[in-house]
Amino acid sequence: MVAIVTGASSGFGYEVCKQLVEKGYKVYGISRRKLAPTGVTAFSADVSDESSVRSIIDEIALKEGRIDLLIANAGMGISGPVELTSNEMARRIMDVNFYGQIYAAQAVIQYMRAQKSGTIVFVSSVGAPIALPYQAFYSASKSAVNSVALALRNEVREYGIRIAVVMPGDASTGFTDARIKQNTQGSKEEDGTDSLYPGCDNAVASMEKDERTGISPEKVASVIVRAACKKNPAPLYVAGGKYRFLLALYNLLPTRAAVWLVGKFYLRSEK
């Protein structure tokens, strides 16, 4: 069984690679840094570069004769008010989190369709169905992944290709420290007046505290691998019992109440 994992150099992707190797998969990792666990063949590429991703996947398919599994995991994070987020950074997060996953999926589907089997697992976020204040573009990128993945599930069903999405909640990985902050004003402007969004820094710090004490990447990886190995995976999985409860509650509430509750929770540090 041949598996490809994007974002394999750290976090969820690294742990997924390890667990797939233990299950007997021949694993190939794709990430910007050419790093991967022992037993994994690593390739270096920016997942937002379609030609590089497709070239690597074509090379793997030519060598192995098949591709059984894709874990589309690579991603990045930004935070800050929508108004203050640069267009360049908004496009960048869509290029990595959305197009980076779609490019990989498009490249493997032709091989899975020919062999009439295969599984693609997209790694999204609980922040997809629950729009996060001061992480709007992150939520938007992950929500886009969910929409395409669920549509794709029906499109490729007849070819024996299975599609699933795993949505982790807050997790303790290097993702937190790598987040790019767009609220560069801080709590005060240069002239000493209050910034437009004085609560942003505290709100993001609160989110990051939750992440640092969140679920382990090993546990998230086990959910991803479990979904990947099922003969008939569910469309959506949530990693973390607390987040399954919160998402269920969010979906039960009227939209006005649900959005208000999210604001109260994530902006609890604002004064």
Question: Which pLDDT value is given to residue 188?
Answer: 43
Among the listed residues 25, 103, 111, 138, the single catalytic one is 138
Q: Is 99 a catalytic residue?
A: no
CB atoms within 10 A of CB 77: 22
Answer for the pair 2, 66: CB distance below 8 angstroms, yes or no: yes
Among the listed residues 14, 139, 142, 143, the single catalytic one is 142
pTM attached to this predicted model: 0.89
- For residue range 142-151, list pLDDT tens digits in order: 999 999 999 9
All structural domains of the chain, each given as residue ranges with its CATH number in brackets, are: 2-266 (3.40.50.720)
Tens digit of pLDDT per residue, the chain (271 long)?
999 999 999 899 999 999 999 999 999 999 998 888 899 999 999 999 999 999 999 999 999 999 999 999 988 988 889 998 999 999 999 999 999 999 999 999 999 999 999 999 999 999 999 999 999 999 999 999 999 999 999 999 999 999 999 999 887 676 777 777 776 554 444 444 447 887 787 777 777 777 776 788 999 999 999 999 999 999 999 998 888 998 999 999 999 999 998 888 877 644 4
Q: Is 124 a catalytic residue?
A: yes
Q: Is 138 a catalytic residue?
A: yes
Please count the residues of the chain: 271
